[in-house]
Structure 1
């Protein structure tokens, strides 16, 4: 059997069922502007320190226009070789057309780079779902956190290495969809990229 000749029926056994992206029981905080947040709870020492950390660098803002959160780059970080970086600021359709090659069983992490321009954004989340021949074979949700505006890019790296699928049934072409959103249901970016799991690099 050649790579990617696996029958769809075999892939159905690996299918991940769709589920709600929201965290059950979680309610997003009310949206408050930056000046109001800075003035709140001035007598609470721990909260003041948290806000100072969150807003560190906010006085030196860079506004490029457009949305408050600019998603810049996705990196696939490998344990034993150079990262593969996807530019998320240009033609996103090109990412799906040019497939990345990944050796089966390789350990990797995803790292997303973004910049908050004007206001604090709360509850940033990163969703990734992966399909093969139209069958959803993986779905992950990552809580990125709350961030204040800064001139510099900020980064979120998934904590643990994950292992690329391996074996004859795993080899073939995949499409991943990424979504970067926040507590207020603002979708800052959605994009797709494709990759091939192969026997070797």
Structure 2
């Protein structure tokens, strides 16, 4: 005796059959085919759990045959079963697989997190960036300003605070300090330093517009800029240097450098920029226009220079 075991409507295993004749094998395959068809058409016939379809067999002449699913398909095809039944089985399996995939996508498992983003979440990032930009653009409201003399006179009875102010301001001549709130910053000169060559000292015109080409650089050369400036009347906070360069109307370079905060003093300050290298090649050589500005944290501009310069194959001859 052998049979096809059913569990939860699905065929789990095919028990070894011991068949004695071709007739019995054919009868067994017919029963097996009908059982598979009943499983696929569960709306009309759904086998119960552990329901067994049995086929009597002869015990005299025993042949041991093991059937796999592939073998069953090939035998049923050779017996001339209708191809329509096979197509129904394939369509049912495909439909079941599609429904399973849809359930996995639309209904995530318990404890899972849906990764589907809504339009609101996509636009929220852009809105947050705009809010951050607006926050940065808002001008910080500072407290009342005092002249340097007033700041030094305040809390003069506090010895520790007085020493802290002296360390912060350095050697400041109170008598030479003006009574104005705004600091006075004057850029005295600009120097171009290049290894192995004398420094090129450039005087800054009062109107900030040098005539003609202000200076010439050699292509592929290393150089650095050094500023000399003086500060009077009050402390300048966050003095910085900005520079933009154009060639034939196209912006080719832009830089910004924080110089620092300085208190007024009789001696001028100097600040040297990091070393750079000029571009080289046929397209790099030529005339450039540039704009340089010196501004502080309050966006007050102390100097704006509009000038032109050249990049050539070699340096200009040194004038004696």
Identify the TM-score tier after normalising by the shorter chain: 0.7 to 0.9
Instruction: Using structure 1 for the length normalisation, give the TM-score.
Output: 0.73
Instruction: Give the equivalent residue in structure 1 for 2:231.
Output: 116
Instruction: Using structure 2 for the length normalisation, give the TM-score.
Output: 0.48
Query: Quick one: structure 1 residues 69 and 163, their matched pair in 2 at CA, closer, same or farther if it must change by over 3 Å?
Result: same
Instruction: Give the equivalent residue in structure 2 for 1:78.
Output: 194
Check the 8 A contact 1:74/1:112 in 2, yes or no: yes
> Which of 131, 135, 143 is equivalent to 2:246?
131
Check the 8 A contact 2:213/2:310 in 1, yes or no: no
In structure 1, stretches of 5+ residues that fail to align are: 1-19
Query: Quick one: structure 1 residues 126 and 97, their matched pair in 2 at CA, closer, same or farther if it must change by over 3 Å?
Result: same
1:154 and 1:72 map into 2 onto residues whose CA distance is 10
Give aligned pairs, total. 176
Check the 8 A contact 2:183/2:234 in 1, yes or no: no
Once superposed, which parts of structure 1, at least 4 consecutive aligned residues long, lie more than 6 Å away? 23-26
Q: Deviations over 1:135-184 (max 9, x none)?
A: 111111111111111112111111x2111111221111111211011112
User: Could you tell me how far 1:56 is from its partner in structure 2?
Assistant: 2.3
Q: Deviations over 1:83-126 (max 9, x none)?
A: 11221144532x25134221111111111111111111111111
1:25 and 1:50 map into 2 onto residues whose CA distance is 30
> Which of 291, 312, 316 is equivalent to 1:177?
291
Q: Write out aligned runs for 1:51-90 (5 A).
A: 51-59=166-174, 61=176, 68-90=184-206
**What is the RMSD computed on CA atoms of the aligned residues?**
3.3
Query: Quick one: structure 1 residues 58 and 143, their matched pair in 2 at CA, closer, same or farther if it must change by over 3 Å?
Result: farther
* Larger-gyration structure (1/2): 2
Instruction: Give the equivalent residue in structure 2 for 1:9.
Output: none
Structure with more contact order per residue of length (Cα contacts < 8 Å, sep ≥ 6): 1
Is the strand fraction higher in 1 or 2? 1
Query: Quick one: structure 1 residues 51 and 91, their matched pair in 2 at CA, closer, same or farther if it must change by over 3 Å?
Result: same
2:207 and 2:261 map into 1 onto residues whose CA distance is 28
User: Could you tell me how far 1:193 is from its partner in structure 2?
Assistant: 2.3
